[in-house]
Structure 1
Amino acid sequence: MSTRLRIGFIPLVDAAALIVAVDKGFCAAEGLDVELVREISWANVRDKLNIGMFDAAHILAPIAIASSLGIGHVKVPIVSAFGLGINGNAITVSPDLYAAIKAAADGDLLDPLVTARALARVIAERKQKALEPLTFGMTFPFSTHNYDLRFWMAAGGVDPDEDVRLVVLPPPFMVDSLANKHLDGFCVGAPWNSVAIDLGIGHVLHFTSELLQRVAEKLLAVRAPWAAENPDVMMALVRAHARAADYIEDLGNRDEVAALLTAPGRIEVTPELILRTLDGRMRVAPDGTVRPSDRYLLVGRDGAARPDPVQAAWFYAQMVRWGQAPLSNDLLAAAKAVFRPDLYDAALGPTAPPPVSEPADGIGAFTGPAFDPDDIAGYLAACRRPG
């Protein structure tokens, strides 16, 4: 007899393992009858997971941590035994802002420190002219997108709370908001950066993997009590999604995977946009310029699916840095407890560690100190908030 589950997701390429696990029958092979429910916003996904309308969810890693800590909403402990993606976001700006940054840049535009400092010059000039602050979109206050933007801006001396406006928008709304000039830029996951490029209304400034080499993006998350009450179902979910991740990472399956992801009720963009993302060959400008990256989005390779508590500690450090959470050893421990490599290992057995090519501190930031998950205070003191 099958176990029925409802799992919520947002139409993004890093939902790939979730969609493939269901639509290729990997969940069914594990005795799971899964209904995938497409949602529009992260708040919807979080709330429906928290109150039990969803048994599991494709969710932003920082949302799972914030929920577990009771920050920004009700406290509902969340755990994850499977990571759905490492990296996968990009910062896209309007043609006008791209031109302004290019004119103000002193160096290579591929260098995030160069563009961050150029952004600071653009902002200073706008202030002198009494112009409105630049507005950037991100998907949620507790999101990698928010922390990506803040990390980049702060490196150039921009205070993201004082010098610009950061606004929350669901991922599918980013492109229209840029087209309508409600935004000057945004940070979002695939395929929405590519959609903006193909429409000729944006330039990709940076892949976020160029800012931070290895940051957990989405998790397959469940409520902690549910995980404790359903250990066999948890193991089955991990096994099914591990098969899906391996299937996606096999280059010979990419066309089929793209067809699955673009089916009605799933992501519903062209297969070409999916293939570009999975292959790491992204168009970054309206003229068709392609920038390759072998780490734009890691679905299963290089240990990407095994939850790493170091990642949880980094997110907690960002929450403290930007005033969302107090500094506390208890909160740090609770944040780390969201990521459950023990459950992953229980389902799949011992796995190889990430290759030596991965960053030594588990994060690989383009600037600033190496990250120490056991010394958040020291790390933040070395980062120093701008202004």
Structure 2
Amino acid sequence: MTGEAHVRIGFIPLVDSAALLIATEKGFARAEGLDVELIREVSWANVRDKLAIGRFDAAHLLAPMAVASTLGLGHVRVPLVAPINLAMNGNAITVSTALHAELSAEDAVAHPAQTARALAKLVARRRAEGREPLTFGMTFPFSTHNYQLRYWMAEGGIDPDEDLRLIVLPPSYMVENLARGQLDGFCVGAPWSSLAVDAGIGVILHFGCEIFARAPEKVLALRESFAGDDPNLVAALVRALEKGAAFVDDPPNRDEVSQILSRPEYVGVDAEFIRRVLTGHLRINGRDEREDVDYLLIGRDGAMRPEPRQAEWIYAQMLRWGQTRYARTMADQAKRVLRADLFDAVLGEAHVEHEISAFAGPSFDGQSYEDYLAGFVIGRRV
């Protein structure tokens, strides 16, 4: 890379784009010789398509979408690589106040296994009464949001493909559709669940990190061919984003970060909502709050390192829900999306691979795909 490189990067208005937005806004990208042009998009499909055809050089992207694009699932095959994670965790399962009241009547308490069983009772009752099935929103079929909803529901005995409706909506549309009664609940990234709570129309039932402890959420994705053509540019992006994440994670900077992200051209919501997300201290209904320091991981605790095991876990979720078939070649392709080698070559940090764990069910780490999927009652097999 010689001179200043102009880089067009697409993003969705979510708090988990913070490292990217701050790296650009605070001059960390410019210091690395990058002239970053940020383009705010509405839907993940738009981001994926513009990245695929070269309208974007890089993108804030759903980690499962990067794997799906590489495997040619749901769209034309465009191999992508992710040299750095932008976020782990950060989602929440939110339900309407009406559905929450019904779940409360079933004596459901905070643990996901109990709320899932309570939801299963409601689903069965609605079917017996001839009522319409419940409708939940998620942001894309190849997303952690989809897998979190499905995993949670299935642990209660619900088959999400048979017992209710799952529909795709852009993140910023979730609250509006919940208010209109077109959704009974959704799983979405921050800050949109907080807006539903503040509007008095939703209750946060579970943080995403209560379903999966360290879910690979967003990555910086580039076309494999583009990344291969200019490794120095990739290295500059990794360095700039690491500095952006460090700035976001430093507590004295939270007010400034929240104000920057609140701008209309970025996330476009009140800074207080963003600050709550960054601290992991959220209102879950009109009177109660819940705190979890792991609600959203941007840079700390090794969150930025893209581990191939994370891509294997994503592929396992795709297999479980019938989004693809097992093939050794596809499994190998999936692993090559999250490029720890590119990250390590730039930052050279010591690392420890973290276990990907869930609130219930079999552990993925150390198991074959076949053995892992055999541990579930609901879902597909290899």
Normalising by structure 2, we get a TM-score of: 0.97
Matches within 5 A, 1:157-168: 157-168=157-168
Whether contact under 8 Å (1:201, 1:286) holds in the other structure is no
Indicate the SS of the match to 1:158.
coil
How large is the Cα RMSD of the aligned pairs? 1.2
Q: Distance in 1 between matches of 2:125 and 2:378?
A: 22
Whether contact under 8 Å (2:68, 2:74) holds in the other structure is yes
- Offset of 1:386 from its aligned partner? 5.9
Is 2:243 the partner of 1:250? no
Indicate the SS of the match to 2:206.
strand
Residue aligning to 1:368: 361
Is 2:292 the partner of 1:298? no
Residue aligning to 2:122: 122
Aligned partner letter, 2:347 = L
Residue aligning to 1:71: 73
Residue aligning to 1:85: 87
- Residue correspondences, number: 378
Q: Distance in 2 between matches of 1:258 and 1:384?
A: 43
Matches within 5 A, 1:234-313: 234-287=234-287, 289-313=288-312
Matches within 5 A, 1:92-171: 92-105=94-107, 109-171=109-171
Whether contact under 8 Å (1:81, 1:341) holds in the other structure is yes
- Offset of 1:152 from its aligned partner? 0.2
- Offset of 1:352 from its aligned partner? 3.7
Residue aligning to 1:180: 180
Normalising by structure 1, we get a TM-score of: 0.96
Whether contact under 8 Å (1:105, 1:117) holds in the other structure is no
Residue aligning to 1:348: 347
Q: Which runs of 5+ in 1 are unaligned?
A: none
- Offset of 1:374 from its aligned partner? 5.5
Q: Distance in 2 between matches of 1:371 and 1:271?
A: 38
Indicate the SS of the match to 1:90.
strand
> In the TM superposition, what whole-angstrom CA distance separates every residue of 1:19-69 from its partner, at most 9, and x where no partner exists?
001000000000000000000000000000000000000000010000000
Residue aligning to 2:337: 338
Residue aligning to 1:379: 372
Identity, % of aligned positions? 55
Aligned partner letter, 2:176 = D
Indicate the SS of the match to 1:302.
coil
Q: Distance in 1 between matches of 2:367 and 2:70?
A: 19
Aligned partner letter, 2:137 = G
Residue aligning to 1:28: 30
> In the TM superposition, what whole-angstrom CA distance separates every residue of 1:287-316 from its partner, at most 9, and x where no partner exists?
2x1100010000000000000111111111
Aligned partner letter, 1:32 = L
Residue aligning to 1:219: 219
Q: Distance in 2 between matches of 1:193 and 1:373?
A: 34
Q: Distance in 1 between matches of 2:366 and 2:84?
A: 20
Indicate the SS of the match to 1:81.
strand
Q: Distance in 1 between matches of 2:83 and 2:296?
A: 19
Whether contact under 8 Å (2:113, 2:156) holds in the other structure is yes
Whether contact under 8 Å (1:313, 1:373) holds in the other structure is no
Q: Which runs of 5+ in 2 are unaligned?
A: none
Q: Distance in 2 between matches of 1:105 and 1:211?
A: 20
Whether contact under 8 Å (1:199, 1:286) holds in the other structure is no
Q: Distance in 2 between matches of 1:124 and 1:279?
A: 38
Indicate the SS of the match to 1:188.
strand
4+ aligned runs moved over 4 Å, structure 1? none
Q: Distance in 2 between matches of 1:167 and 1:160?
A: 11
Aligned partner letter, 1:181 = G
- Offset of 1:232 from its aligned partner? 0.2
